[in-house]
Structure 1
Amino acid sequence: MLTQLALTGLIVALLPLSVVWGSKDPDKYRKLAWVTVFLTFDLIMFGAFTRLTDSGLGCPDWPGCYGHANPLQAHEHISAAQAAMPGGPVSVAKAWIEMVHRYFAMAVGVLIISMIIIAVRGWLKSRRQDQRFSPRLPALLLAFVCLQGAFGAWTVTLKLQPVIVTIHLLLGMGLLGLLTWQAARQSIHPPVSAAATSLRLPAAICLAVLATQLALGGWVSTNYAALACMDFPLCHGSAMPDMDFANGFSLWRQLGKTAGGEYLPFPALTAIHWTHRCFAGVVLLAVGWTAHKALRVPGLQRTGRWLLAALALQLLTGISTVFLEWPLALAVMHNGGAALLLLLLVMLNFKAGIPAQAASQTASATHRVGQPAA
């Protein structure tokens, strides 16, 4: 089974790899980095689809499906489980959704391993002088994707325990952020004004604020609290509805249960939803202000415009999800919007540091020139 799974992941990875090596871009390393970012973004979107269609236990074991490499081989087991519990977590469609998600995750792993191979070859060829081929970050990416896989396994074996699923989501977002930084390091960027250094601290704060909101959003999703408040901007017609924070934010518990094993009360779901909704205002203000400042800095205007557009999209999909009672397409788009905001903020952080990097390199070069010959 493991051999079949590995071959499946390799086959899925062949398509993006063929795009890289078949492209006219002479810098295949940079192309591979950005293709991996694109595939990881798609993986996050499909992971949201998997979670929102309640397909996380479509195959209740890991890494295969009832001990097989694909749902076709496990059809008898899946049919038996579906017959025993119609409308339950196991069905043929859900099994395929879950396994396709795993195949895509394995493909991302293959792309990262390819990145490491190219990086090591370039690093050795340059006699460890070309920093863009430094294998440290690709090695960290591989460790990160392995950790992500471990939490994916625990997501299944611990039956969608909310804290595990939320960490799995955050690790996926973290992987996207690291991959974006790696791709940005390989790219040629237009000149950035020295004024960009004034945005380094605000951009870093925005990244931390967004990470907090991602955790809160993941907690909403994994606890199925998206419809705990069906009106907007109020919740149950009140600015301060009845809420149970103690049970809502008790981390180590089963899905739908309190830490004591009782059914989770509805006010706990309200507390989860309301906290995420209120903190969205913090994100809107912080990221909106920083993006507005970026519009005034040469070299950062494009990133600022994209950030404002992504914020508007996220606000629209979030409000529409409430009013339209959580349609699947909008819910998936809302997850994708969060990933897009993360990607753009990572790019803003990278670009805001370009003038400082250039100044450091100039100072280093000047120092070397000024040194007496040996």
Structure 2
Amino acid sequence: MIHNLQSCESLSKPYMRQGKIFRNLGFWTIGAVYILILIGGIVRATGSGMGCPDWPKCFGTWIPPTDISQLPSNYKEIYGAKLKGEIEFNALKTWIEYINRLVGVLIGLLVFATFLSSFFTFWKKDKVIVTLTFIATLLVGFEGWLGSKVVSSELHPVMITLHMLVSLIIVFVLLYAVARSYNEIIEIESITDRTSLSFLLTATMFLTVGQILLGTQVREMVDQVSYLMGETLRTEWVANLGGKFKMHAFFSIIILAANTLIYYKVDISITEKKVVFKLTKWLMIVIGIEMISGLSLAYLGFPRFLQPIHLTLGVLALGIQFIIYLLLNKERVFRSMASPS
């Protein structure tokens, strides 16, 4: 019996080490996805979406030019139709878009490495984690293909919104896979009002997703208004954004109220405040900064540096909501999807 116990311990140590490697790699991968969302916001805010008018190459080369002298003399004829009137080469916008693509490739490699790590760690113990990381790998490939369609469609709003939606799905899949790997090693506090809190979280997550996607459409309207009114009237853009902007502002108030209610219900439902309560506190901090950035955009003439921050904070809040939901329903959600050993 002692021999068997020692054998189990010797087997568990490599498994625990591999599990730690998977979780660390998963965190780095999720962080990289958030960085890509931030960079995507920078691309949008700086108008660099067509900085590389072709795909996967950039101005016909794998390493984009840094000076106009590196382009063919007739480059305006070749690429002018796709540059939406911005026929003159802009090295800064070209390299912002190119860096966006490079980070996308890096994330593809990280997601694939996460899949390999999950395969060697969890294939015999929990095939769901392996399946999820494989799905994330496929989604990253699909996201890359969508990126090419965004370019070929000359930044069509529907393609941009779909591109954002797939990014959110990738975040959800990876968060679930990593959270599931903690199933046996993390203990959460006892919660008395778990059912109604889970329902509130679900509703709030749907609202947040809708708000993020609506925000991408508002961003498209900002581009149109800025083109028509020019930089000199920047502080007056908000008055000309129409109904979608007002709807976006209205839902931000509802989302703030919903997250505040989540915090209140967690606070009164938990006696020993541990993981869930700390995550809820961070959720309120992120939501608060998100609201401040939104108000600053509306009343300070849409500062470019705030636009990608505002988007990334919204996606970060959504991720925290999802983690809290998973922890609240840890036993039911993870066990119901458990694969046979």
TM-score scaled by length of structure 2: 0.79
CA distance in 2, matches of 1:146, 1:358: 27
Question: Which structure features the higher share of helix residues?
Answer: 2
Q: Matched residue pairs, number? A: 301
Of 316, 321, 324, 2:292 maps to: 316
Question: CA 1:312–1:134 in 2, change beyond 3 Å: closer, same or farther?
Answer: closer
> Which residue pairs with 2:194 in the alignment?
197
CA contact (8 A) 1:82 1:91 kept: no
> Equivalent residue for 2:7?
none
Deviation of 1:146 after TM superposition, in Å, equals: 1.7
1:31 CA drift (Å): 0.5
**Quick one: distance in 1 between partners of 2:175 and 2:335?**
23
Higher relative contact order, chain-length normalized (CA < 8 Å, sep 6+): 2
Aligned partner of 1:60 in structure 2 is 53
- 2:200 and 2:53 mapped to 1: Cα distance? 43
**Kindly, what percent of the aligned residue pairs are identical?**
22
CA distance in 2, matches of 1:227, 1:294: 42
Aligned residue for 1:105, secondary structure, equals helix
C-alpha contact 1:115 1:138 (8 A) present in aligned 2: yes
Q: Which residue of 1 aligns with 2:209?
A: 211
Q: Tell me the secondary structure at the aligned position of residue 195 of structure 1.
A: coil
Pairwise CA distance, 1:317: 0.4
Structure 1, unaligned runs of 5 or more:
1-23, 237-265, 362-374
The reply on whether 1:99 has 2:103 as its aligned counterpart is: no
Change in Cα spacing, 1:220 to 1:358, as seen in structure 2 (3 Å) is closer
Counterpart position of 2:326? 350
Is 1:35 equivalent to 2:28 in the alignment? yes
Q: Does the alignment pair 1:284 with 2:256?
A: yes
Which amino acid is 2:113 matched to?
Answer: S
The 1-side partners of 2:307 and 2:66 are apart by: 32
Shift, 1:333, TM fit: 1.5
Q: Which runs of 4+ in 1 moved over 6 A?
A: 82-86, 226-229, 358-361
Distance 1:358 1:140, change over 3 A: closer
Partners of 2:207 and 2:335 in 1: how far apart?
29
1:180, distance to aligned residue in structure 2 (A): 1.9
Which string of whole-angstrom CA distances, capped at 9 and with x for unpartnered residues, describes residues 81-139 of structure 1? 57978955841111111111011011111111111212222345xxx2x1177411011
The Cα RMSD (Å) is 3.1
Question: C-alpha separation between the residues in 2 aligned to 1:352 and 1:204?
Answer: 11
Partners of 1:26 and 1:121 lie apart in 2 by: 9
Check whether the contact 1:55–1:95 (CA below 8 A) recurs between aligned residues: yes
> Alpha-carbon deviation of 1:67?
2.3
Whole-angstrom CA distance in 1 between matches of 2:212 and 2:72: 33
Structure 1 contact 112–142 (Cα < 8 Å) conserved: yes
| 1:271 is the counterpart of 2:248 | no
**CA-CA distance at 1:163 after TM superposition:** 1.1
Structure 2 unaligned regions, length at least 5: 1-16, 227-233
Q: Secondary structure of 1:27's match?
A: helix
TM-score, normalising length: structure 1 = 0.72
